[in-house]
Every structure is written in C-alpha cells, then in structure tokens.
A and B are shown apart, each in its own frame.
Chain A
Amino acid sequence: MPEAIEGIFEKYQRRSDQLIPILQDVQKEFGYIAPESVRHISRYLRISENQIFGVSSFYAQFRFTTPGRHSIKVCLGTACHVKGGATLLEMLERELGIRCGETTPDKRFDLERVACLGCCALSPVVQIDADIYSRMTVNKLSELLKQYE
C-alpha cells in the first residue's frame, strides 16, 4: 500500500462515514480516484469497492481519470450566465475540441463548469488553475489559453 495512502488513513477512523473526507484527501494527493485507491479504501473501511464507487461518482468533485496539466473552470452562475458565460464555454469547447467535463487528449487542459465562483460583480468569470480572470470576452480568453502550456 503506497505510503501516501497509509498516511491519509492514519487521520481517519475505520468507519464508513469517513468515506467522503478520505476520498477528498486521496483526490488532493493523487489528482484523481484510481481503482487502486478504491481497493485500499474498501479494505480500510470494510465496504465494497462498488459502494465506494457509487458514492464517489455521485459527487461532481471526484474524477476517475488523470487530470490535465491545467484546469479551466468557467463560472456559470446566474450573473455570469446573463453576461454571456455560455458563449465562453462554447468557444472553449470548440477550440479545445472537447465537451465540458472532459480532458484534452494531450492532457493539456481540463474543462469544467462551476456553479458560482462568487465574483458576480465582475462577470463573466473564468478560472484557470489558481488564477481568476474577470470581465472575460471570447477573444481575451482565446489569447489567454496560449499562456498555459
């Protein structure tokens, strides 16, 4: 069992209600939830892998494929929507050639939508990695992508 996972388990008791915090830590550590990780969690918490998968696939936070190098999150809260957030998403889907929720084949970008980043006065908002960009336009966004390898 990889040390990293053992380290995570040490913080939690062997009770099934600890599942979601454990999954969150595992995803923070590895970037995604791998079948191996599910197996270890299954033995630790004594619940079947299928049940663990069933719980984790319910929540939007957890992903089961390796993440891309950069994560693009388009805010689609109401304020951003009325200021054209959907058009930004369409443009990204078109340029990157993937649908929302997918990763580009070269693993460069993940594309996601988020419900609200909380900067409604500056809509529409796009977050790339840890950087938040406000008052975005289609052209500005297109240029911005070039900065992320």
Chain B
Amino acid sequence: MNKLKKKISEAKRKWEKIEDNKEPIIYVGAASCGRAAGALELIDETDRFIQENNVSARLIQVGCIGPCYLEPLVDIKMPGQPRVSYSNVNIGLLSKILKSHLIEGTPFSKAAIGNFSNDTFMDIPPFFELPMLKPQMRIVLRNCGLIDPEDIDHYLAKDGYQGLMNALQTSPEDVIGVVRQSGIRGRGGAGFPTFKKWTVCRNTPGEQKYLICNADEGDPGAFMNRSLIESDAHAVLEGMMIAGYAIGASKGIIYIRAEYPLAIERLKKAINQMKEYGLLGKNILGSRFSFDVSIKEGAGAFVCGEETALIASIEGKRGAPRSRPPFPAISGLFGCPTIINNVETLGTLPNILRNGADWYSRIGKEGNRGTKTFSLVGKIRRTGLIEVQLGTTLREIIFDIGGGVQKPFKAIQTGGPSGGCLSEEFLDLAVDYESLASAGSIMGSGGLIIMDEDTCVVDVAKYFLDFTQKESCGKCIPCRVGTRHMVEILDRITHGEGVPEDLLTLRTLGDTIKKGALCGLGQTAPNPVLTTLRYFRNEYLEHIRDGRCRAIVCKDLIEYRVIKEKCTGCQSCVRVCPTGAISGPRSEPHNLDVTKCIKCRSCYEICRFEAIAGDAIIIRTAEKRS
C-alpha cells in the first residue's frame, strides 16, 4: 500500500506540472469519434508545425469529452492561461489557430468554443457552462477528455484507485453494503440493483469465481462504453477490482467486441501499467485479495451481450443463451459463480467507494439513484456523449442539452433494438427505469436517437426488427420464426402492400414473442414495433390505407420529380443516373421517367450539392396508381 501511496504523490506532482505548465500543451481529442473526424491528421500536422517552427510544446492525446458534433477538438494551454478548446478544426483552421495561439500567444477566438477555467477568459466562455455541458453531472465521465488515457499517473493524480484502497480496508460484505446503500442499478439495461446479484454470488460457495465486464455494447448507435474505455480505462478496471473483491472473484475477464480495437489497445496498456504498480496479481496492496484481468474479444454477435450467451462465448461455444435457472451468480462461467456487470456500472463504482454511498444516494431520484451516460444522436443540433442525473426529463435532454431539433420533432428512440419510440407527448417523461418501462420502452444501455418529420417510424421499426432478426441466435421458435414474420409484414407495409389485418397480426406476434422467447433479445425484440403501433398508429394506417409515407422515405411510396422552372439543364444529374431515367438536352429542363427511377438519390444529391440549380429535383409522395 505504501509503495502505491508514493506513486500517487509522484503522480500528483506530475499533474501539478500540467496544471501549472511551464511550456505549452496541445490536447487533441483522439478517441474513435475524434479519429473518424480526422484527429490523426491534425496530430501529424501539429507535430509538423511544431518541428518547422521550432517551438517547444507537448502534445497529449485525450479521450472523448462529450460534444461529438464539435469534433475534431483541439485544445491549447499556454503557460499562465487556462486551456482553450477549439471545435470543428480542419487543417486550414489548425494552422491559423497554432499561429495565433501557440506562436503569438493570443487565442484564436473565432474558432474557440470554451475555456477550462470557471470564468470567461478573453470572451471565451467556460467550457462546462456551455448549454450542452451545463445541465450535465459528469461522474463516470469525469476524467474523459481531461487526462491522457494512456498514462496511469494522470488517473492516480485525480484520486484514482482511492476507491479500491478504501474498499480493501473494509470487508467484502461492507463493500456490498456500500453499494446497496448507494442504490446503484445495473447500467447495462435491465436496471437490476447491483448489490443483489453480488450478494447471491458472495453467498454461493466456490473456490473460483469470476467477474466479467460486459463491454460488448452491441446496440447500434451506442458508444458510451467505448468512449469510457478509450478515455478512462482505469475507471473501469478499478471498478472491476472493487466488484471482484466484493464477490470473492480472483479472475476478471473483459468481454469486449472486436470492433473496438482502440479500446482494446488502451485496456491492454492500462493492465500492463497496473501490473507494474502492483495493482494486479497476488495479495494486492498487501491485502489478501488476488486478482488478474484478461481480455476476451467478441466475434460479431449482438446476442453475446446477453449474460448466458456471453458466458457460452467465453467457453468457446456458439453464443446461444440458455434458460435460467441456474443463474450465473450461482453457476456461470465453467459452472462457477459469476457476476457480469456493465462497463458503466463498473466505471461508477470507484466514485461510490471514494465519495461514499451517502453522496451517491443523494443524486438522482428515489429508486433511481445516480447518473447515466447517454449517446445523443440523430436529428438533433448537438450530438454527443452526455451524462445526466436519473430523473432528468426528455425535454431537458433534447432541448436544453441537445439544442433542439431543426425540423419538427417526431420521436425519440431509447434502448436500442430492445426499446421503443416515444412520441412528443412523452417529452416531459423523466428518464428513469420505471417511467420508460411504463411507456413501453426501456432505458437500455443509453442510446437516445432523435427523429424528426423526415424519419418514417414504420421504416425505423422495420430497421430494428431486421437487425434483431439478423442477430437472433435461432435457438427458440418465437424469436427465430416470429421476428421473421414481423419483418416480412413490415416490409410489405413499407412497400405499400399492407392490409389492415396486419396491425392486429403484428400485435399478436409481438405478444407471443414477448411471452415465449427464451432470452432478453427475443423478449424485447417486438418493442420498437409495439411502441410505434401504439403512438404512431396513424402513420401505419397511412401506409396501408393511403399508400402514403408522410416522411417521404419508403421507396415504393415516393417519387422523384424535376421542377422544370428551376432546372438549368446542366446535365449533372444525367451523368450520374444509373438507369437513364433522367434525360434531356443541355440547357433545357430535364425529364424524369418515374418508371425507370430506382430512387437511388444520386440526382437529388448532385443537384443539391454540386449542380447549378441546387433544388431542381424534389422527392415527394407518389401519386396513387390505380
């Protein structure tokens, strides 16, 4: 323990040097979202700039700080000045910023979005007072974007592993007691009180127990777990150790999907650093607790996010879930008592053990304590990764944090393929497990997708069912066969071939699958359909009765047209049309033959983005053909 304490004080001194830096520091947000936006090129360019201009500056790659719509984010901290953050940086903008701020010492205010002090700095507002950040309460994400995720000292400097040290000073039962008192519920989706499973596992006799971190994050559109691991892997690892200590496990396994290579790399580095610092292995920090962590990569199966399927996958079998009982807490991996916790649940634990159960239990609301991270995406102004107290309303999230919608709001989808679409009457719904469930959706892992009038809910329902169908393991009949029928019915409806009975059939099928399926994937698969049927019934009826898709999405119900008055005859669209549906001589308005049109969007896009006219092609509801 003392060796670690020494390392902590060294780390804190190291951190001081950053807070009170003597040479400039440049931060680049280089988690996966940053990289996708072009962060790596910016890093190369910055390196080049520093070399050429013979400046001494330090470059730190940080993780994701939240507002992905502002990426790439490049921050500069000059000695004596607060850190200033620049958004949507491209190569051209970068040189201007570097010249102004790094060389001349003056922030390039035009592109600056915020500064990291508590006050305004040279007309630049405090970063955490920005409308997107202010309502948030960043507990799990507290280090993300602020520290170098590949340096354990940064984590230690910010009171890292303090939670573990506190835990090791008490008994495992006490740790479970703290977790119980804090009221934290599993953040993977089910919302089961974390302490309950732990207690069962603790009380089950067994030489070998396992603690598994579920980092399979299969929900399309969810990247909270990935961001957390890439930006602050140690938070998750410390959480794993606290959990392992509490249940009596000596082996920890992180089951992470293979599609997250950067996260896997960061985890490997973090684990090696832990070993160097004596935080893994036998008798950690002089206690009787021994723990080792290994990484297992998923192989591309959404269903492996389900507990028993995950266990089957680690055992080298097909990822098919099995019935319970027996429950994994009693007989799980290789027949041993096993606890599976979500990345976010584990990432929260160090904070609880560090600040106390009381502190955590005062956040959020009754029965729904604490905060939750969400990935806020879709047709919203400010997309990104957020963390709010449970009990926050959807309205606050969408309009205060998210900056609202540009086109009229239609629906918000929560919980991924297991969740549902809620209409605008639910905007004042509090985001907590029970409220969402009573509305027919679920909290899920935290994906929030905003839809506006350009989104067709029938198409969205079909999209989710299609996903579930493809990911179904195929073991049980209700899911394997039932979802297939549902997809086919939805397919017909989107092609304008629906019949009124279809709505009743969809409900019956949904009911059967919910009651009969073996695992959570099947049992929640009908939710997108059932909620959209409930809240957007009219859209279904329009598709069926009127052959009309009001969002202008379903291909068989829309058609493309040239507005002759606006067309300049520039031939841009003629060049890209794959079927020759659009034609016409130069400088004369073109013709579009609807019978040949396959609605591939090529002409529409080229007219909008590159051609002269800009809006000569429109897409609208097809005229009813008899």
Report Cα–Cα, A23/B35, bound state, in Å: 29
B55 within 8 A of A: no
Query: Main secondary structure on chain A at its contact with chain B?
Result: helix
Q: How far is the CB of B377 from chain A (nearest CB, A)?
A: 4
Contacts A24-B258, A78-B449, A139-B606; A118 near B297 (Cβ below 8 A): no
Closest A residue, CB atoms, query B320: A58
Task: Pick out which of these stretches binds chain A: B188-196, B311-319, B536-544.
Answer: B311-319
B288-333 CB contacts (< 8 Å) to partner A = 296-297, 299-302, 313-320
Closest B residue, CB atoms, query A114: B259
B223 touches which of A17, A59, A116, A142 (Cβ 8 Å): A116
A91 within 8 A of B: yes
B297 touches which of A19, A21, A125, A142 (Cβ 8 Å): A21
Residue contact B299 to A121, C-beta cutoff 8 Å: no
Task: Pick out which of these stretches binds chain A: B214-222, B238-246, B510-518.
Answer: B214-222
Task: Pick out which of these stretches binds chain A: B120-128, B142-150, B585-593, B597-605.
Answer: B597-605
A81 within 8 A of B: yes
- For A20, A77, A82, A117, the residue with the greatest tally of chain B CB atoms inside 10 Å of its CB is A82
Q: How far is the CB of A17 from chain B (nearest CB, A)?
A: 4
Residue contact B221 to A59, C-beta cutoff 8 Å: no
A122 within 8 A of B: yes
Residue contact B220 to A115, C-beta cutoff 8 Å: yes
Residue contact B220 to A125, C-beta cutoff 8 Å: no
Residue contact B37 to A122, C-beta cutoff 8 Å: yes
Contacts A20-B316, A115-B218; A120 near B383 (Cβ below 8 A): yes
B75 within 8 A of A: no
Q: How far is the CB of A15 from chain B (nearest CB, A)?
A: 8
B490 within 8 A of A: no
Report Cα–Cα, A134/B319, bound state, in Å: 32
Contact residues in B for A139 (Cβ distance below 8 Å) = 576, 602, 605-606, 610
A88-111 CB contacts (< 8 Å) to partner B = 90-91, 94-95
A65 within 8 A of B: no
Residue contact A77 to B319, C-beta cutoff 8 Å: no
Per-position 1/0 for A118-149, Cβ under 8 A of B: 11111101000000101001110010000000
Residue contact A82 to B316, C-beta cutoff 8 Å: no
Report Cα–Cα, A21/B294, bound state, in Å: 12
Report Cα–Cα, A78/B377, bound state, in Å: 9
Residue contact A58 to B455, C-beta cutoff 8 Å: no
Residue contact A55 to B32, C-beta cutoff 8 Å: no
Contact residues in A for B460 (Cβ distance below 8 Å) = 78, 81-82
A62 within 8 A of B: yes
Residue contact A121 to B68, C-beta cutoff 8 Å: yes
How many chain A residues touch B (Cβ–Cβ < 8 Å)? Answer: 46
Per-position 1/0 for B470-514, Cβ under 8 A of A: 000100000000000000000000000000000000000000000
A7 within 8 A of B: no
Residue contact B605 to A118, C-beta cutoff 8 Å: no
Residue contact A61 to B447, C-beta cutoff 8 Å: no
A121 touches which of B315, B319, B377, B605 (Cβ 8 Å): B377
Residue contact B316 to A19, C-beta cutoff 8 Å: yes
Residue contact A79 to B302, C-beta cutoff 8 Å: no
Contact residues in B for A54 (Cβ distance below 8 Å) = 318
Residue contact B299 to A24, C-beta cutoff 8 Å: yes
Contact residues in A for B449 (Cβ distance below 8 Å) = 78-79, 82
Contact residues in A for B33 (Cβ distance below 8 Å) = 118-119, 121
Contact residues in A for B297 (Cβ distance below 8 Å) = 20-21, 24
Closest A residue, CB atoms, query B262: A118
Report Cα–Cα, A139/B574, bound state, in Å: 12
Residue contact A79 to B378, C-beta cutoff 8 Å: yes
Contact residues in B for A62 (Cβ distance below 8 Å) = 299-300
Contacts A61-B299, A119-B32; A17 near B220 (Cβ below 8 A): no
Closest B residue, CB atoms, query A94: B578
Can you report 30 A-B residue pairs in the complex whose CB atoms are below 8 A from each other? A17-B316, A18-B316, A19-B316, A20-B296, A21-B297, A24-B299, A60-B299, A60-B300, A62-B299, A77-B220, A78-B220, A78-B221, A78-B377, A78-B378, A78-B460, A81-B220, A82-B379, A82-B449, A91-B600, A91-B602, A94-B578, A116-B221, A118-B226, A119-B36, A120-B375, A121-B377, A122-B36, A139-B576, A139-B605, A139-B610
Taking A120-B223, A138-B600 as known contacts, 18 extra A-B pairs with beta carbons closer than 8 A to each other, sorted by chain A number, are A17-B315, A17-B316, A21-B296, A58-B301, A60-B301, A76-B220, A77-B221, A79-B449, A82-B378, A82-B460, A94-B578, A115-B302, A115-B467, A117-B36, A117-B259, A118-B226, A120-B68, A121-B377
